[in-house]
Amino acid sequence: MLESAELVSSIDDLLLQILLFLPIRSLIRFKCVSKHWLSLITNPRFSLLRNPNPNPAIGLFFHCRDFHINQEYDYIHFDTQSHTNPQFKKLRFTEENSICILQSCNGLLLCSDFVTSHWSKRSYYVYNPTTKHFSTLPNRAEASRVVRGMSLAFDPARSPHYKVVCIRKSESARNHYQIEVYSSDTGPWRAVGDPFVSNVSFGNGVYWNGMIFWISPGDNFFNFTILCFDVDLETRGEMPVPPARQGGYVGFFGESCGHLHLIATYEPEGKIDVYEMKGDCSEWFVKYKVDVGQVSVAFPGMIRENHSPGDWGYYAFAILSLVGKREDDDCFLVLEIPGKAIRYNLVNGSVDMLCEFEGAEEQSLRYLNLGFEYIESLCCV
């Protein structure tokens, strides 16, 4: 038996095939077996062979309600049968005591310190919460310029390297913005393109299909803008928006397992339209329709007291995330309702409770903001 084990471990191709079938938590432990095993497991090729496409998210991290005072994170796991402990409660991977998450992208987190509210004076990091490894981004040459947003672009199916896109105030044109790009492969920050004018919110970038997207602030579904930036071609443009319909607002905008989604919520009607963008970026189409009233049958606590059907605010809920798989067999919404987080299966309409919130206030929502997806990944930073 010992000789057989030694024989297997001496043949790299055979050993590699065995390691590919192991769970990530086991692989992290096995990196300590030897330097040879470490080199096999941390090789970008191994990560790509194991997961040619990014894993689906298994949970969400949230800033606690009092994050300005107590920099801790809440965690919601998507599996209703077996919960796992969160990877962290606080982020303390540097000498800074206060680290906040800015974006989640295919297993990596873009983070910054929290010592100042000025984005231009912060330090920025790319962190893998699965391996607990991180890299500190270099200082920008124009560090004195006001930063309006930072976004991470990473797709392990395309490249083992990532890019970070910074939007800052232009020094050459009043009320204009300038794009800067950093690459983990080629190095330092550099300005790309000409200064431009835009009304989008650069604090919540979404990466999909080789591009970063920003949506205009506000919740009016009748009139908004989607700005896009092609990370490889380094070109900027606008994306078409779904057909306007009066009375709705944008309840969610994000990517999941290779699909870009935008959710329109029509609150007085209690209806939700889930739009998906075609792969060629030509147009949106309605992928799913949700009747919030049907969800409230299973969880009547989401109906606010002293409200009548058809009133604004009759249903108390917030869309925290849309999670899918490439086969579309288990695509679901994560919804917050008073005191609980639930999942609504967009394929079969089933509803399950994910967790209850301790100390939740009656008829109130806890987060009202999007969570940061946790995706298990062995990718290097």
Q: How far apart are CA 204 and CA 369, in angstroms?
A: 11
Task: Identify the DSSP state of 119.
Answer: G
Q: How far apart are CA 151 and CA 154, in angstroms?
A: 10
Q: What is the pLDDT of residues 50-74, one digit of tens each?
A: 766 667 888 999 887 766 666 788 8
Token reading at 31: 């990196």
Give percent of the chain above pLDDT 90.
37
Q: Which CATH class is domain 56-293+366-374?
A: mainly beta
Residue 1: predicted pLDDT: 45
Residue 157: CB atoms within 10 Å: 11
pLDDT band at 7 (very low <50, low <70, confident <90, very high): low
Give the residue extent of every domain in the chain: 1-42, 56-293+366-374
Alpha carbon of residue 366 to chain centroid: 19
pLDDT band at 333 (very low <50, low <70, confident <90, very high): very high
Give percent of the chain above pLDDT 70.
85
Q: What is the pLDDT of residues 99-154, one digit of tens each?
A: 889 999 999 999 988 765 555 578 899 999 988 889 999 987 665 678 899 999 99
Question: How much helix, strand and coil, in percent to the nearest 5, is found in the chain?
Answer: 15, 35, 50
Higher confidence at residue 222 or residue 271?
271
Token reading at 230: 């092609």
